[in-house]
Structure 1
Amino acid sequence: MASTFFYLCITVKSKSNFDFCSHSRLFFSNSSPLPSSSDFLHRYKFGQQLEGKHRRKLRRKLTSPAAMFSENPVVSDVIATALSGGIALSLLRLWEETAKRGLFDQKLNRKLVHVSVGLAFMLCWPMFSSGRQGAVIAALVPAVNIIKMLLLGLGIWKDDATVKSMSRFGDHRELLKGPLYYASTITLVGAVYWRTSPIAIAAICNLCAGDGIADIVGRRFGKHKLPYNRNKSIVGSIAMATAGFLASIGYMHYFSSFGYVQESPEMVLGFFMVSLAAALVESHPLSTEIADNLTVPLASVLVGSFVL
């Protein structure tokens, strides 16, 4: 009696990589003919075709616009814009109230705005559709703040609570520097690089988490100053590199869970190098004169272009 055992194994390694393996073990009696080489070739081609179909299907899925709230990507992006804008506005209102009530030191309150707003906005990126459309529409949210900073900084619009929460000394003209650069950086990085690029992660994380934590830690514990910049401390620079790096790793895992980036040890090393470079640039006296909200993201983008 002829007995036949056929085992077919299809192993899925990840969302974007497939390994197809076909193992056939055939046991025949003497009266059963052995399979010819053409049979094996046919089975192998069938496996390759099946694998190719999986790859093409996955590629179409990743490149097609994903609509989270509606089948129409435009409608979905409008809803995502309203939600992310509402979250950003709520955070700004929260820090305006704390500044108005004097719950925190004015400089600390300013840095809490600096750390939280950009990182919270980046958390909202998965709500938008894929491709250039989602990137451009998402960039409109921080772009509104560019207009707001210009109006407040030029004195056209009066809002003492906002000025107090975002400035060092309560002067509305300060908003034309650091806060304007901050909003412009997040707008441009989001529109140009978007969520599929680790450069966007590195630039925003080092700007928000890195630079923000550096100032908070440096003011509290920075007794030992840097020899080449007495306005910066050793512990502040270490805190910046650490916070920027850890935030980048966190967002790498976050966007990887959506399939936007492929996390790897090489990417982790790249983030470390970018955060180290950003901390060195921030500690340089030139950053104090120009504004680290401009020099830090520029350094992150430049170094990230080589190592990420």
Structure 2
Amino acid sequence: MLWEQLTANPLIQDSVVMVITLMLALSWLRIMDALAANGILEQKLSRKIIHMGTGPLFVLCWPFFSPQPTACYFAALVPLAITLQFIGIGVGWIQDPDAVQAMTRTGNPKEILKGPLFYGLVFVVCTIGFWRTSPVGMLALMMMCGGDGLADIVGRRLGVHKLPFSPEKSWAGSAAMFAGSFLFAFSFLSLFNRLNYFQPPLVGTVGIVAAIALIATLVESLPFRDIDNLTLTGVAVVLGLWWF
């Protein structure tokens, strides 16, 4: 009954779902911050768990927004608010030692103005630009979350054999990048396809997702620091527009 009353007014529905989504995202971030601050999670691991978990949690809330064209703007306010928080911490306007501990490699707040900031901006752009009726943005976002996040975690633990053209990257990390990109992207595309958001429904996407994941893996393997969130997502968007 409450949900029926809520959905009767799209403006109220989108406002309420936006607030709930923001609360869920901030709660997830705070949990990870606390685990890192108390030494339960190491700094670099907490950073990548945040990377892998925040985006998917946000996208899983998309179906609860109204079917109105303006719903994407309400949804985009969630990553925008978090991104503004990142900027505030990075430039020193907001003092949040736990967040710095969880989201940086060395404890320098200015690091948040690189990878985490790009992460948030990419989510804002893809949410508004593609939303839930297009597989393109979702594909790119999930490859960034699952692939790039898993690549770092696995690479640091199993990355004994380095890539000849990128000494900071490893074969194990690249394999994890491909697997994470494919699994996250294909799972979310399949879910939203079953929810009938893609019209016409997607058919035979396994090969397409695998091909894009492979190319994104090659891009991620290049010896560039702190811009993976931009480069691999941008490549995935271009390829998604081409193939879908």
Normalised TM-score (structure 2): 0.94
Report percent identity of matched pairs: 37
**Residue 144 of structure 2 aligns with which residue?**
207
Structure 2 residue 221 is the aligned partner of structure 1 residue 283:
yes
Q: Is 2:37 aligned against 1:100?
A: yes
Are the counterparts in 2 of residues 177 and 291 from structure 1 also a CA contact under 8 Å? yes
- Decide which of 235, 238, 243 is 1:302's aligned counterpart: 238
Q: Does 1:270 align with 2:208?
A: yes
Q: CA deviation at 1:70?
A: 2.3
SS in 2 for 1:230: strand
The whole-number CA distance in structure 2 between the counterparts of 1:284 and 1:278 is 10
Do the aligned residues in 1 keep the contact of 2:159 with 2:173 (CA within 8 Å)? yes
Residue 248 in structure 1 maps to residue 185 in structure 2 = yes
Shift of 1:146: 1.6
Aligned to 1:165: 102
Contact 1:68–1:128 under 8 Å retained in 2? no
Over the residues paired in the alignment, what is the CA RMSD in angstroms? 1.3
Shift of 1:132: 2.5
Structure richer in strand, relative to its length: 1
Contact residue 143 and residue 183 of structure 1 kept, 8 A:
yes
Shift of residue 93 of structure 1?
A: 0.8
The 4+ residue runs of structure 1 with deviation greater than 4 A are none
Q: Which residue of 2 aligns with 1:6?
A: none
Structure 2 alignment gaps of length 5 or more: none
Give yes or no for contact 1:139–1:191 (8 Å, CA) kept in 2: yes
Q: 2: distance between equivalents of 1:151 and 1:277?
A: 34
- Partners of 2:110 and 2:23 lie apart in 1 by 26
- Structure-to-structure mapping, 1:97-176, within 5 angstroms: 97-176=34-113
Shift of 1:81: 0.5
Secondary structure of residue in 1 paired with 2:40 = coil
Instruction: Specify the SS of the correspondent of 1:69.
Output: helix
Offset, 1:131: 4.3
Secondary structure of 2:133's counterpart equals coil
SS at match of 1:132: coil
Task: Tell me the CA shift for residue 68 of structure 1.
Answer: 8.6
* Residues 139 and 189 in structure 2, CA contact (< 8 A), matched pair in contact too: no
Output one character per residue of 1:87-123: Cα deviation in whole Å (capped at 9) or x when no partner: 1011001101101111111101110000000011000
What secondary structure, in the 3-state scheme, does the structure 1 residue paired with 2:169 have? strand
Distance 2:29 2:6 in 1: 25
| Deviation of 1:235 (Å) | 1.3
* SS at 2:105 equivalent: coil
Q: Distance in 2 between matches of 1:264 and 1:229?
A: 36
SS at match of 1:157: coil
SS in 1 for 2:160: coil
Query: How far apart are residue 247 of structure 1 and its match?
Result: 0.9
User: What SS does the aligned partner of 1:153 have?
Assistant: helix
In the TM superposition, what whole-angstrom CA distance separates every residue of 1:184-230 from its partner, at most 9, and x where no partner exists?
00111011101111111211111101100000011111111111001
Contact 1:274 1:303 in 2 (8 A): yes
| Bigger relative contact order, structure 1 or 2 (CA pairs below 8 A, ≥6 apart) | 2
Which structure's residues are more often helix, by fraction? Answer: 2
Once residues 281 and 130 of structure 1 are traced to their aligned partners in structure 2, the CA distance between those partners, rounded to angstroms, is: 35
- What does residue 123 of structure 2 align with? 186
Q: Distance in 2 between matches of 1:79 and 1:92?
A: 20
Tell me the matched-pair count. 239
Alignment-derived partner of residue 18 in structure 1: none
Give, in whole Å, the separation in 2 of the partners of 1:205 and 1:215.
15
Whole-Å separation in 2 of the counterparts to 1:193 and 1:298: 13
Q: Which has the larger radius of gyration?
A: 1
Q: Distance in 2 between matches of 1:269 and 1:232?
A: 26
**Corresponding letter in the other structure for 2:10:** P
Match of 1:292 in 2: 228
Q: Are the aligned partners of 2:32 and 2:46 in contact in 1 as well (CA < 8 Å)?
A: yes
Matches within 5 A, 1:40-119: 69-119=6-56
